[in-house]
Amino acid sequence: MKILAIETSCDETAIAILECKGDEKHAEFTVLGNTLLSQIEIHKEYGGVFPALAKREHAKNLVPILEATLEEAELLHEDTQVISEEMHANISLVLAREPGLAEAFFEFVSECEPPRIDAIAVTAGPGLEPALWVGINFARALALLWKKPLVAVNHMEGHILSALASEQGESLLIQDVQTPVLALLISGGHTELVLMKNWLKYELIGQTRDDAVGEAFDKVARMLELPYPGGPEISRLAEEFRKLGNETSKFTLPRPMLHDATCDFSFAGLKTAVLYLLKDKPELSVEEKKHLAHEFENAVADVLWKKTSRALEQTGAQTLVLGGGVSANTHIRRVFTEKMRSEYPHVTLCIPSATLATDNAIMIALAGFYRASREEFVTDVRANGNLSLAPVR
Ligand code: KG4
Ligand code: ZN
């Protein structure tokens, strides 16, 4: 089955085409085409993602990205197409709220044969709704014109599945996953522990009561006058600190909710602690920023690990997944790898490769495959900024 997947939930416009084989026990994926355009440079100026701008950029980028991905997958065949008036009118309606997109869409599709794909997958949420809508309406328009079934994907399921995928030569394999699977999902909008007892059925074990961990990284980075997105910048400074053989920081930050009996998190207090610290000492030297970045990253990693180990005990999980943009963090990856080896050697740890950790369309295709295999096709998709994986336990 060939799946074309579209991701526009935040500040990355991404399309991928995957050849998918197998079933829920053993699936094999080959990436035929994959294009990703990051809007980081555009949002940098605002210190964060600006939704209206993200929407505009997605609308501008989707057609060129689609063309590039089809071409890479060798599925682009030019041929003049006749689009009936009725079809034209229906698609114009679907794309009515995406200025500029309809024009580029018709120009492209009227010169391109419907590609030999079997389904279209699109992120329905969670994310920024204006951004999600562009991808959704684009996917609906393509599905309508090319007469392809459509699947709505939960972005967080994509993060989980990309962690479960292991690279084997040119392919990605998802096989023999031992359940229960516990997933620690850490991104710009999420910090949650989710349990998958049965394949693709989720239960919420814990979540942040305030800020997401990626948000805390980004806000603290902004306080330190580091560019957006702040996560990789803080990580870079903290790693430089460690490389110098330093261990103790001259700053001490709290580990919020470390000893509380739940698997919930809180990062607002950590962020505020940095704010107070900077009130007393507004001008930090580069050296001091490294100290602070190091202490902040350690505090985050301590809390994430403590809560995850609590959840591992509670659930008896056989597999632990790290997913979401923050799982690209070198220190967090290292802490989890070491702790799992020493404390839970019988539990398999799955961390996505650095390129699959942050948002991309390959992960949407993986989730799309399982949903399409279950024939969970939809005729209509709505953006849901707060789409959740699991009911609260
Ligand atoms: O999953 P993702 O790409 O987008 C969302 O769905 O939110 O996650 C983005 C978040 C941002 O907050 C970014 O600062 C953070 O992931 N991030 C990192 C690193 N790379 C990305 N945080 C810490 N260390 C990193 N290396
Ligand atoms: Zn994400």
**Which two structure tokens, joined as six digits, stand for 323?**
């997913």
Give exposure, 202-230, as e/b (b: 16+ Cβ within 10 Å).
bbbbbbbebbbbbbbbbbbbeebebebbb
For residue 393, pLDDT beyond 70: no
Which of 22-36, 46-60, 228-242, 260-274 is predicted least confidently?
46-60
Closest atom of ligand 1 relative to the 12 alpha carbon: 3
Give exposure, 329-352, as e/b (b: 16+ Cβ within 10 Å).
bebbbebbeebbeeebeebbbbbb
Tell me the chain's radius of gyration from C-alpha atoms: 22
Number of helices followed by number of strands (H, E) in the chain: 13, 12
CA distance 391 to 212: 19
- Burial of residue 88 (number of CB atoms within 10 Å: 0-12, 13-18, 19+): middle
Question: Where does the pLDDT of residue 248 fall: very low under 50, low under 70, confident under 90, or very high at 90 and above?
Answer: confident
CA distance 137 to 380: 10
> 328 in ligand 1 pocket by Cβ < 6 Å?
yes
Q: 110-140 pLDDT, tens per residue?
A: 999 999 999 999 999 999 999 999 999 999 9
Beta bridge partners of 153: 123
Distance 358 CA to ligand 1 centre (A): 6
**Which two structure tokens, joined as six digits, stand for 132?**
């999600």
Give the residue among 226, 213, 234 at the shortest CA–CA distance from 302: 213
The answer to whether the beta carbons of residues 336 and 305 sit under 8 Å apart is yes
Give the three-class secondary structure for 52: helix
> 188 in ligand 1 pocket by Cβ < 6 Å?
yes
Question: Where does the pLDDT of residue 309 fall: very low under 50, low under 70, confident under 90, or very high at 90 and above?
Answer: very high
Distance 230 CA to ligand 1 centre (A): 8
Instruction: Please choose from 222, 304, 358 the residue to mutate so as to test ligand 1's pocket, defined by most ligand atoms within 8 A of CB.
Output: 358
Ramachandran class of 194: left when φ > 0, alpha when ψ lies in -120 to 50, beta otherwise: beta
Distance of CA 103 to the CA centre of its chain: 29
pLDDT > 90 fraction of the chain, expressed in percent and rounded: 90
> 125 in ligand 1 pocket by Cβ < 6 Å?
no
Distance 363 CA to ligand 2 centre (A): 10
Give the residue carrying structure tokens 């684009």. Answer: 138
Instruction: Please choose from 43, 187, 362 the residue to mutate so as to test ligand 1's pocket, defined by most ligand atoms within 8 A of CB.
Output: 187
Q: For position 391, what pLDDT does the model report? A: 63
Give the residue carrying structure tokens 């261990």. Answer: 247
Give exposure, 294-325, as e/b (b: 16+ Cβ within 10 Å).
bbbbbbbbebbbbbbbbbbeebebbbbbbbbb
For residue 392, pLDDT beyond 80: no
Q: 369-385 pLDDT, tens per residue?
A: 999 999 999 999 999 99
Closest atom of ligand 1 relative to the 213 alpha carbon: 12
Q: 184-213 pLDDT, tens per residue?
A: 999 999 999 999 999 999 999 999 999 999
Q: For position 49, what pLDDT does the model report? A: 86
* Amino acid found at 18: L
> 360 in ligand 1 pocket by Cβ < 6 Å?
no
Strands (E), 84-227: 119-125, 150-154, 166-168, 171-175, 181-186, 191-196, 202-207
